[in-house]
A and B are shown apart, each in its own frame.
Chain A
Amino acid sequence: MVNGINLALQFLDSFAFIVLAAAGLAIIFGIMGVINLAHGEFILIGAYTATLAVTQLGLPLVVAMLVGGLVTGLFGIVTERVIISGAWPNYISQRTLGRDVIEPLYDRLADSMVATFGLSLILTQGARIRFGNSIDQIATPFGAISYGAFSYSTYRIVLAGVSIGLLLATYYLFTRTDFGMRARATIQDKETAQAMGVNTDRMYMLTFGFGSALAGLTGALFAPVISMQPTLGDQFLVEAFVAVVVGGPSVVLGTALSGGVLGAILATFSNLYGTFIGRIALLVAALIALRFLPDGITGFIEQLRQRRQESD
């Protein structure tokens, strides 16, 4: 029998997992047209950094998690400058060869996938070589809440709150700040944004850094509840890509809605038939969504809005 409280908690858990897994990927894909196949490894960097900051440096957990996000964000900026935009190699090649050697990977989906897949292999193996097959995990904070015969990790509920907080903060950043205005202008029309004085190159760099920091923060937040091994990013990747595809073009709303819909499906089927069937249900839901809503949920909403405007 389905336990209502269990189901609600499982929904919150699935929602938080999907939203946190997808947020960084959605921003980088939605704004820059770059599919970052190293997204799982960015999560790995955040998780390892936070864990090592606690176990090796003795930092408080919250500080260690913020450090995890920050380090991953900085790594993302370096990745963007070296691989995605090629700005740093081109700076050197312009002065030695007199020409650029790297064409930026913005809006080059297949090329960006190949480049970042290579990066993901390097990062996974690099982590394995440097830290071995696993590192010591940090303890799950906050204990558990009990109700009847059941108990549930309080930290998992905190994660749900954090995921909602991050969505709201990201929404605020992209809709209410000067940075967000420049980012939206850059997404819609790069040339016009440049003509309006926006440094689009810098916007891409900061956006990639922000998306990377979110991925790192996700890893840091989940560090206490997942096994610390070099392939830990893989378990986030499926949910992240499914959420981005189902969510559609609107980064924040799409991630929130797909987190809600897919989270409900994942929670319900996992609760009824176990985790394995839950993940199959998630993928089937993604297939159905792609068949009937090829532009995702927010693409469908946008079509409805345009139709209504045309009929007015």
Chain B
Amino acid sequence: MSDTETESDIDSLGPNVRQTAAELATGDRTDTLLQTDGLVKQFGGFTATDDVDFSVSEGELRCLIGPNGAGKSTLLNLITGTYEASDGSIYYNGHDITNLDPHERVSRGISMKFQVPSVYGDLSVRENVRLPVQQFADGEERRRLVAEAIEAAGLTGYEDVAAGQLSHGQQQQLEIGMAAALEPDLLLLDEPVAGLDVAEREAIAERIRRLNEEQGIAFVVIEHDTDFVASIAEEVTVLHNGEVFREGPIGEIESDSEVQRIYLGGES
């Protein structure tokens, strides 16, 4: 990164990130990885996210909860660039990435697993994993990374099986493996355990914890199941009507009467 780039980035940052960038410039590094500043997304007359300030620290494991239509998936799709923001900014590692294309955000270290299983059904497991790995690795390194990713997904022996033939749980594992194979700093997971049984949920939880602890990957995980949330995350952000409603430790959030009213109790 050039000095010019740093200065221009600092000039364009919001108040929270201005401080972060200034600290970066003085060598007093903070650990803010992602920061959204007044993020708005409108679909026609409907506001899906409204003035969302949301941040994730390096190596953090944060869950995003909220009733249906709260804007959770929209927020992740804004961070990845799948959706274009109507207003506001997104900063990643102190850089404004609001106008970057999705593949440019991936190359900066943001990776995502979508809500609907999105493995390539016609391609083999090996080809599915090769797709992200080939973006940055060649030859022997590529083969090694592909083999490691398949092993980490628990799919050794399934290398040549078409991904469409795998069980739902295996597809979820494969897709997390594909996203993790990009060696991201931030991995966004949209309902990674939806439709899975207890054993498969525990396997995914264990995988997330390992990736977080061993590789230092920061996570933002959307999930409805509070038991699953409690098993992986300490910090939780609650979205409601497109706005950040509460943020805090899972214990506090679970006992918050307002959260219970809008989310856990019944209002949806």
Contacts and interface: CB of A to CB of B under 8 A. Distances in A.
A193 B106 CA distance: 11
A197 B132 contact: yes
Interface in A173-201: 178, 181-182, 184-185, 188-189, 191-201
Given A188-B122, A189-B120, A196 B127 contact: no
A192 B114 contact: yes
A237 B114 CA distance: 41
Contacts of B118: 189, 191-192, 195
Contacts of B106: 194-197
Contact of A195 (B114, B121, B122, B127): B114
Given A185-B120, A191-B114, A196 B101 contact: no
A262 B132 CA distance: 40
Given A188-B120, A192-B118, A181 B101 contact: no
B78 to A, nearest CB: 13
Nearest to B142: A178
A281 to B, nearest CB: 34
- Looking at A178, A182, A192, A197, the one whose CB has the most chain B CB atoms below 10 A away is A197
Most chain B beta-carbon neighbours within 10 Å: one of A189, A195, A198, A199? A195
A195 B130 contact: no
B173 interface: no
B82 A194 contact: yes
A43 B50 CA distance: 51
Interface string B94-117: 000000011100110001111000
Size bracket of the B interface: 20 to 34
B103 A194 contact: yes
Interface in B46-76: none
Interface string B112-138: 111000111111000100111011100
B132 A184 contact: no
Interface in A24-82: none
B102 A185 contact: no
A280 B132 CA distance: 48
B21 interface: no
Task: Name which of B120, B122, B127 has the most chain A CB atoms within 10 A of its CB.
Answer: B120
Contact of B134 (A178, A184, A188): A178
A197 B103 contact: yes
A195 B120 contact: no
Contacts of B101: 194, 199, 201
Contacts of A195: 80, 82, 102, 106, 111-114, 118, 179
B131 A185 contact: yes
Contact of B103 (A178, A188, A199): A199
B182 interface: yes
Given A188-B122, A191-B114, A192-B114, A197 B82 contact: no
B131 A182 contact: yes
A157 B190 CA distance: 56
A181 B111 CA distance: 19
Contacts of A191: 82, 114, 118
A204 B102 CA distance: 15
Interface of B: 80-82, 101-103, 106-107, 111-114, 118-123, 127, 130-132, 134-136, 165, 178-179, 182
21 contacts: A181-B130, A182-B131, A184-B122, A184-B123, A188-B121, A191-B118, A192-B114, A192-B118, A192-B119, A194-B102, A195-B80, A195-B102, A195-B111, A195-B114, A195-B118, A196-B182, A197-B106, A197-B132, A197-B135, A199-B101, A199-B103
Interface of A: 178, 181-182, 184-185, 188-189, 191-201, 309
- Closest CB pairs A-B (n = 4): A194-B102, A197-B106, A192-B118, A197-B135
Given A184-B123, A191-B82, A191-B114, 4 more contacts: A194-B101, A196-B106, A196-B178, A197-B135
